[in-house]
Amino acid sequence: MKNTLLKMAMSLLLILFFSCKKDSDKEEKEIPVKNSVAENYNISILLDLSDRISLEKNANPTMEYYQRDLGYIKSVSEAFTEHLKSKRIRQMNDKMQLFFNPEPKDPEINSIAENLKITIDKNNASKEFLNSITKNYASSTSKIYQSAIKDNNYIGSDIWSFFDNKIQDQCIDKKYRNILIILTDGYMFYDNTVIKEGNRTSYITPELIRKNGLNTVDWEKKLHDQDFGFIKTNYNLSNLEVLVVGINPSKNNPYEEKVIRTYWSKWFTEMKIKHFEIKNADLPSNMDKIIKDFILEK
């Protein structure tokens, strides 16, 4: 009788053991797996070809500002290529393009920019094509800057109008991670887009900052209390990420850089842009990692 009871007890224990193990295995199999689908990138570069790149007005003995821009563009194109090489060919469906606003009058510059609008997918991806992107962007953008400097007819920077009228159609695609790189000194001004609504404007210049009394120690309180800033566009840009590179404030006002950064930050925040960074006109070697981290972060 005792042997029979012992055998029955052992059988029950074995059943319980295997039943628990089966449940445990089932739980392990049901742990969610992280989505490994590669993102598609839509990278846009917006160039400010105003007199900030003038060799006469804004000469810099360390490195000219147009040369810094070329270094930043090289970092962007290298990051784009690195992203592509991390994907399988059948996964590729990525875009990179270059814009100005306003468009230069030189048709050659606009033609070069048009050729820099590239789309990479499984139908045209090749090792040779991927390896040619950075070289092509470097040589083509160098021609653009050289032509603009030679022309010496700097018509200003209408970045505000680009955000108001063009950004939705030209820089944002629902199926992509949309990234906009803006190369600018932080100032905006264009004769045909001078708009003022209360203390909000479509532009910012050293003269405007000085005129509004934002060159004293209480600049921040005055800016917030009197609601100085850019006029907000009507868009919800929550699916856009923006990196501004090249901020170069006037040395006549110790608070100039902070005012510029606050204008841009306030504008981006009001347009619901969640991820943005604003960086100075540092040497390309110092900016390389910052630019690539912004683009390649997961």
Judged against a pLDDT cut of 70, whether residue 36 lies above it is answered with: no
Annotated domain spans of the chain: 41-296
Structure tokens at 254: 């110790």
Q: What is the SS3 assignment for 169? A: helix
Stretch 151-176: mean pLDDT, rounded? 93
Lowest mean pLDDT among 31-45, 100-114, 180-194, 224-238: 31-45
pLDDT of residue 21: 46
pLDDT band at 29 (very low <50, low <70, confident <90, very high): very low
Stretch 176-203: mean pLDDT, rounded? 97
Q: Per residue in 232-285, pLDDT tens? A: 997 899 999 999 999 999 999 999 999 999 999 999 999 999 999 999 999 999
Judged against a pLDDT cut of 50, whether residue 27 lies above it is answered with: no
pLDDT of residue 101: 93
pLDDT band at 23 (very low <50, low <70, confident <90, very high): very low
- Alpha-carbon span 131 to 80, nearest angstrom: 11
190 phi/psi in degrees, rounded to 5: -150, 130
Half-sphere exposure of 275 (CA within 13 A, CB side): 13
Lowest mean pLDDT among 4-8, 118-122, 150-154: 4-8
Stretch 12-18: mean pLDDT, rounded? 50
Parallel, antiparallel or unpaired: strands 275-280 and 240-247:
parallel
Stretch 11-32: mean pLDDT, rounded? 44
- Alpha-carbon span 144 to 63, nearest angstrom: 18
Judged against a pLDDT cut of 50, whether residue 5 lies above it is answered with: no
- Alpha-carbon span 76 to 71, nearest angstrom: 9
pLDDT of residue 68: 98
Lowest mean pLDDT among 74-78, 150-154, 272-276: 150-154
Q: Per residue in 77-100, pLDDT tens? A: 999 999 999 999 999 999 999 999
Beta-ladder partners of 121: 93
List C-alpha distances in Å: 120 to 114, 128, 159: 15, 12, 27
Amino acid at 227: D
* Mean pLDDT value across the chain: 89
Lowest mean pLDDT among 9-13, 91-95, 178-182: 9-13
pLDDT of residue 288: 98
pLDDT of residue 209: 98
pLDDT of residue 2: 45
- Alpha-carbon span 169 to 167, nearest angstrom: 6
pLDDT band at 8 (very low <50, low <70, confident <90, very high): low
Nearest of 50, 29, 37 to residue 102 by alpha carbon = 50
pLDDT of residue 107: 86
- Alpha-carbon span 142 to 145, nearest angstrom: 5
Quickly list DSSP for 173-190: -TTSEEEEEEE--S-BB-
Kindly give, in sequence order, each residue whose CB lies less than 8 Å from that of residue 290, ignoring residues fewer than 6 positions away: 277, 279
Structure tokens at 274: 């969640």
pLDDT band at 298 (very low <50, low <70, confident <90, very high): low
CATH fold of the domain at 41-296: Rossmann fold (3.40.50)
List C-alpha distances in Å: 16 to 10, 28, 126: 10, 18, 57
